[in-house]
């Protein structure tokens, strides 16, 4: 069992008083000369001193814990966002508590109860099922709250959102510009504003370009499994494979699902992009590592994480301040999974369908 080293022991080794050790290690701005500071820090390092966070909170009377809830940590998008959040939180002197709801509203409710019992200074959340009852429950925590990524339509609280309508429009317009007219949108259940908004933007562009929207959306039920969105992608691909209609391109609701689509096509001898083009959403790192490289729409994990963390810290440190909410804009990332096709090639696809 590791023994906790006390500041009294550090004081003895460094030849200073416990109060001086406390001032140096807590970096509270109290004047201590450089030579003494170096001696105290060296003694602390040699003894393996670790600060007592609970005691630090009692002394400062400041809650140092900030919680974040994400739908899953299996999706690299959320893992990367949490990593960016953690960098900002730690550099600001706070401690991050990380929770995953596994996209389960019941678990998410229990997590709020847990967070209420341990007490935090603030909460960041990308919710599995944000509604009026859940919003009231979160409000009862009595701490600043910042929503990110999944921000309900019309939400007026603090948030860092993403323009999913613009992302859907961008994806559809890009595929049309690449010569595609027989296009499908593959998605999980349309039970979230972000998915509905992406679909709405996508279908708007199809309509504006005279492309029938009937049967343009494949929505498959979401089964709770280790594969998550990847398994949804497998199901989307199976639906296309078993259909009489073979589109020239499919846009998928996130990159992990797009990878599932490509894998299922590959197993059935369907080449991407030679036989069918595939496009994702998120721009996770694996997208450029795979073959073919995944064409996608970027939802910046860096901006999402850093802005959400900076906002929550500002709200904690200065609750009376005025802060702007942010809606991040999509960026098209061109790689190799979408091919450009000519009118002649479209005719050949149609004849072979």
**Does residue 5 register a pLDDT over 50?**
yes
Helix 255-267 with 229-241: angle, nearest 10 deg:
40
**pLDDT band for position 345 (cuts 50, 70, 90):** low
**Does residue 57 register a pLDDT over 70?**
no
Q: Alpha carbon of 115 to those of 75, 139, 169, 183: distances in Å?
A: 23, 12, 38, 44
Residues 77, 233: Cα–Cα separation, whole Å: 16
Q: State pLDDT tens for residues 26-51.
A: 665 567 788 888 898 898 888 887 76
pLDDT of residue 1: 46
User: Of 225 and 162, which is predicted with more confidence?
Assistant: 162
**Does residue 92 register a pLDDT over 60?**
yes
**Does residue 220 register a pLDDT over 60?**
yes
pLDDT of residue 209: 96
pTM over cut 0.85: no
Q: Give the count of beta carbons closer than 10 Å to the beta carbon of residue 110.
A: 13
Q: In whole numbers, what is the pLDDT of the chain averaged over residues?
A: 89
**Residues of the chain above pLDDT 70, percent:** 89
pLDDT of residue 213: 86
**pLDDT band for position 331 (cuts 50, 70, 90):** very high
**Residues of the chain above pLDDT 90, percent:** 66
């Amino acid at each position: 069992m590791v023994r906790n080293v006390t500041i009294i022991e550090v004081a003895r080794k460094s030849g200073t008083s416990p109060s001086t050790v406390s001032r140096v290690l807590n970096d509270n701005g109290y004047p201590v000369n450089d030579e003494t500071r170096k001696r105290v820090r060296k003694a602390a390092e040699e003894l393996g001193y670790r600060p007592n966070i609970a005691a630090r909170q009692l002394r400062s009377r400041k809650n140092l814990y900030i919680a974040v809830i994400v739908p899953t940590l299996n999706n690299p998008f959320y893992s990367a966002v949490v990593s960016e959040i953690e960098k900002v939180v730690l550099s600001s002197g706070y401690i991050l508590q990380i929770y995953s709801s596994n996209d389960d509203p019941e678990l998410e409710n229990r997590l709020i109860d847990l967070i209420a019992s341990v007490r935090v200074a603030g909460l960041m959340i990308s919710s599995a099922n944000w509604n009026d009852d859940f919003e009231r429950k979160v409000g009862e925590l009595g701490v600043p709250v910042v929503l990110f990524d999944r921000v309900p339509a019309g939400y007026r609280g603090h948030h860092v959102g993403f323009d999913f309508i613009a992302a859907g429009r961008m994806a559809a317009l890009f595929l049309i510009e690449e010569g595609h007219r027989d296009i499908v949108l593959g998605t999980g259940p349309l039970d979230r504003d972000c998915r509905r908004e992406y679909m709405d933007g996508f279908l708007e562009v199809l309509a504006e370009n005279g492309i029938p929207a009937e049967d343009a959306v494949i929505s498959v039920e979401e089964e709770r499994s280790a594969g998550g969105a990847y398994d949804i992608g497998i199901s989307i691909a199976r639906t296309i494979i078993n259909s009489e209609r073979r589109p020239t391109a499919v846009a998928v609701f996130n990159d992990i699902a797009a990878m599932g689509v490509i894998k299922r096509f590959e197993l059935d001898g369907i080449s991407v992009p030679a036989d069918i083009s595939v496009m994702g959403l998120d721009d996770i790192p694996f997208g450029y590592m795979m073959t073919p490289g995944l064409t996608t729409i970027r939802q910046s994990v860096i901006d999402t994480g850093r802005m959400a963390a900076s906002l929550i810290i500002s709200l904690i440190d200065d609750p009376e301040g005025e802060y702007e909410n942010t809606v991040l804009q999509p960026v098209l990332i061109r790689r190799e999974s979408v091919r450009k096709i000519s009118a002649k090639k479209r005719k050949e696809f149609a004849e072979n369908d």
